[in-house]
Amino acid sequence: MMRRLFNFQGGVKLREHKRESTQSPVIPANIPKTLILPLQQHIGSPAVATVNVGDKVLKGQVVAQAKGNVSVPVHAPTSGKVAAIGKHNIPHPSGLQSTCIIIETDGMDIERRQKSRFVNHKDLSPEQLRELIRQSGIVGLGGAGFPSHLKLSAERNRVKTLILNGAECEPYITCDEMLMREQAIEVIEGLNIMRHALQAPRCIIAIENNKPEALKEIKLAVKHNNLDFVEVVQVPTVYPAGGEKQLIQTVTGKQVPAQGLPIDIGVVCHNVGTAYAISRAVEHGEPLVSRYVTVAGSVAKARVLEVLIGTPVSDLIEECGGNRKTLSRVIMGGPMMGFALHNDDVPVIKTTNCILVNSSIADVPLPSRSKHALPCIRCGACSDACPVGLLPQQLYWHTRAKEFDKVQDYHLFDCIECGCCDYVCPSHIPLVQYYRYAKNTIWQQDREKKLSDISRQRHEFHKQRLEREKRERAERHKKKRQAVTADAAQDDKKAAIQAAMERARKKRETTNTMPKNTEQLTEQQQKHITEIDQRREKAPGPRTES
């Protein structure tokens, strides 16, 4: 059956560069000397370390436990010894550091003792499955890193369609393609498990039409398992076809409501890599300790490797024949939405799908934006390319003018930062950066407004309390006064005032005399005092008056 596809608006055609890294089969990367495991590799609260420095760990052992519901544990990817727990560079657009568990590997790769596992996922309830998936540390491997168990909830049977995203629309990235080609059976198994957890009636696997081999393997696997509720769909190769919202529109024709979630229209979307990880976890009892990563760009041998989580990027670059000394730019993720690393000693984390290497001496594989932007000529190429239907030229105009209310009128927060507008801009304006700046400024203003609201509230309360206290005090005094008889109080007061006035008069009289130490002075002393007095009179300024 051919499914009718729907186009999303805009998008751009990009040079794919996928051939280079899909020529050789996937092999496991070397076990590095040290593994760096950030406690936060997912959206939500960071995990809490459960090991101490010096502890011996085995492959698959939990080294950090989830904290709260929006969190997952971290497992040791291989056997070794905990060398340190502390700050280390992590993959982050701003080059931040964060708490990591650093493991010195022993090269033995000894696994922890397997508990007995359930053979068939059908024997588990959806709740048990979710808990198992959570305990296996699985997050969305497509890039966002949202804990997967939260997206597998079958509440109120709302999920009608489970979409498995195998579009992989960014240039250079090929890890999902190679996964589908080599592990199609496992991917389909994972899909089955997800479907069971979600109780979804039907499933769609969407693959871009530039991956015919992956499509063939997946179709074979579906046929082999005789899954009549699964539909394999080929979608056109247009960036960003793999964006969740764009893919949902392409295959269902429906749009996810603004500020809503796919579940609002009965859809849940997962990445094929996540399906594979879930299959490994449920069917084989393996937690998420490795993933497929594409290494491409200025390396001798571009390829996809199965990499242990925590492997330093520098090790991968060297393993693929790249020269660390001539690196100019290393991008984690794709060239459209990935970010440039500040340092190559950061680890591969659960969401790392691609390492794109750029060298200062080899041919630059990336045609970059010019450093000197011209003014916007409002040609509208950006709005033609925007997959969301925004007017990037207007967003840019108002961001430049710092008119942040207008920017929100033009729906800034619907921008998915896919980079299409930026890519096509003839004036080479770094548009996405402007939008990030606008978003951050607005967030910052909101935070400040909240804080000032709180302090204003506090101030109001404070004022109210003072007034109340004043009122109460006045009332108390009034009552007291009423208690005492009026006349007696009056007489007492008069007498007191009289006495005080008398005291004051006496005091004035006694103090209105010369200082005692000026009597009986010698002539010389008297002369000296006169001189000083004269000098004081002559000298200007306030000093003389004192």
Partner 1 sequence: MSLNTPTSPHIHDDTSVTKVMLRVLLALVPAIIAYSWYFGWGLLINIAIAATTALACEYTMLMLRQRPVAPFMTDGSIVVTAILLAFCIPPLAPWWIAFLGTGFAVVVGKHLYGGLGYNPFNPAMVGYVMLLISFPKEMTTWLPPNLVQDLNFGFLTSLNAVFTGNLPAGFSLDGITAATPLDLIKTQLNQDITITETKNSYALFGDFGGIGWEWIGNWVFLGGVWLIYKKVINWHIPVAVLGSLFVISLVFFLMDADYYGSPMFHLFSGAAILGAFFIATDPVSAATTPRGRIIYGIGIGLLTYIIRVWGGYPDGIGFAVLLMNLAAPTIDYYTQPRVYGHKRK
Element housing 271 (H / E): strand 267-271
Query: Measured in whole angstroms, how far is the alpha carbon of residue 122 from the centre of its chain?
Result: 35
**Between 64 and 438, whose beta carbon lies closer to partner 1?**
438
The stretch near partner 1 (CB under 8 A) out of 56-64, 151-159, 226-234, 406-414 is 406-414
Does position 289 interact with partner 1 (CB under 8 A)? The reply is no
Choosing from 55, 263, 417, 441, the residue that interacts with partner 1 (CB under 8 A) is 417
CB-nearer residue toward partner 1: 132 or 336:
336
| Least CB distance to partner 1 at residue 361 (A) | 14
Choice between 146 and 435, CB closer to partner 1: 435
Of 369, 443, 427, 439, the C-alpha closest to 398 is: 439
Binding residues for partner 1, rule CB under 8 A, total: 73
Q: Which stretch binds partner 1 (CB under 8 A): 74-82, 218-226, 271-279, 428-436?
A: 428-436
What residues between 430 and 449 interact with partner 1 by CB under 8 A? 430, 432-433, 436
393 binds partner 1, rule: CB under 8 A: yes
The closest of 253, 179, 224 to 9, measured between CA atoms, is 253
CA 338 to CA 347: how far, in whole Å? 15
Least distance from partner 1 to the Cβ atom of residue 131, Å: 32
From CA 106, how far away is CA 59, in angstroms rounded?
Answer: 11
| 356-375 residues near partner 1, rule: CB under 8 A | 356, 358, 366-370, 372, 374-375
Calpha distance 391→435 (Å, rounded): 12
CB nearer partner 1, residue 48 or residue 340: 340
Give residues 191-210 in contact with partner 1 (rule: CB under 8 A): none
Q: Any idea which residue has 């976890």 for tokens?
A: 281
Closest residue by Cα to residue 368 from 326, 416, 425: 425
Question: Does residue number 249 form part of the binding site for partner 1 (CB under 8 A)?
Answer: yes
Tell whether residue 424 is a contact of partner 1 (CB under 8 A). Answer: yes
Q: State the residue for tokens 């540390």.
A: 137
**Residues whose CB falls within 8 Å of the CB of residue 432, separated by 6 or more in sequence, listed in order:** 417, 419, 421, 422
Options 340, 362, 408, 441; binder of partner 1; rule CB under 8 A: 340
Q: Which of 55, 111, 306, 384 is close enough to bind partner 1 by CB under 8 A?
A: 384
Q: Which is closer to partner 1, CB of 56 or CB of 378?
A: 378
Query: Does residue 387 interact with partner 1 by CB under 8 A?
Result: yes
Could you tell me which stretch among 137-145, 411-419, 449-457, 525-533 binds partner 1 (CB under 8 A)?
Answer: 411-419
**Contacts (Cβ under 8 Å, ≥6 apart) of 373:** 427, 428, 429, 430
| 130: nearest Cα among 56, 213, 69 | 69
Cis check for the bond before 240: say yes or no (omega within 30 of 0). yes
**Binding positions for partner 1, 7-36, rule CB under 8 A:** 8-9, 12, 14
Which residues have a Cβ under 8 Å from the Cβ of 223 and sit 6 or more positions away? none
Told to check if 171 binds partner 1 by CB under 8 A, we report yes
Task: Return the residue of 174, 427, 438, 439 that touches partner 1, per CB under 8 A.
Answer: 427
Tell me the residue length of the chain.
Answer: 546
- For residues 259 and 524, which CB has a smaller minimum distance to partner 1 in the complex? 259
Which listed residue (380, 475, 498, 529) binds partner 1 by CB under 8 A?
A: 380
Q: Is residue 256 within the footprint of partner 1 (CB under 8 A)?
A: yes
- 422 belongs to the binding site for partner 1 (CB under 8 A): yes
Q: Which residue has the tokens 């007061």?
A: 493
The sheet with strand 56-57 has its strands ordered as: 34-38, 97-105, 80-89, 56-57
With H, G, I as helix, E, B as strand and everything else as coil, classify residue 373: coil
In 3-state terms, the chain is what percent helix, strand and coil (to 5)? 40, 20, 40
Q: Which of the ranges 129-137, 141-149, 381-389, 526-534 carries the binding residues for partner 1, by CB under 8 A?
A: 381-389
Q: Select from 391, 403, 408, 442 the one that contacts partner 1 (CB under 8 A).
A: 391
The residue within the footprint of partner 1, chosen from 381, 407, 438, 439 (CB under 8 A), is 381
Decide: is 148 part of the binding site for partner 1 (CB under 8 A).
no
CB of 275 to partner 1, least distance (A): 26
Residue 376 as a binder of partner 1 (CB under 8 A): the answer is yes
Q: Counting Cβ atoms within 10 Å, is residue 65 exposed (0-12), middle (13-18) or buried (19+)?
A: middle
Measured between alpha carbons, how far is 127 from 277 in angstroms, rounded to an integer? 18
Binding mask 77-116 for partner 1 (x = CB under 8 A): ----------------x-x---------------------
CA 279-285-290 angle, to 5 degrees, is 70
Residues with Cβ within 8 Å of residue 244, at least 6 apart in sequence: 165, 256, 262, 269
CA distance 176 to 468: 67
Q: Give the nearer residue to partner 1 in terms of CB position, either 269 or 336.
A: 336
State which amino acid sits at residue 439: K
Distance in Å, CB of 7 to partner 1, minimum:
13
Using the Cα atoms of residue 399, residue 401, residue 403 and residue 407 in order, give the sign of their dihedral.
Answer: negative
Question: Three-state SS for 503?
Answer: helix
**Site for partner 1 contains 502 (CB under 8 A):** no
Query: In the complex with partner 1, which residue's Cβ is closer, 276 or 396?
Result: 396
Instruction: Please give the C-alpha separations between residue 364 and each of 20, 49, 408, 502, in angstroms, as whole numbers.
Output: 15, 41, 37, 100
CB of 259 to partner 1, least distance (A): 8
Q: Is 400 in the site for partner 1 (CB under 8 A)?
A: no
Q: Kindly state the smallest distance separating residue 214's Cβ from partner 1, in Å.
A: 23
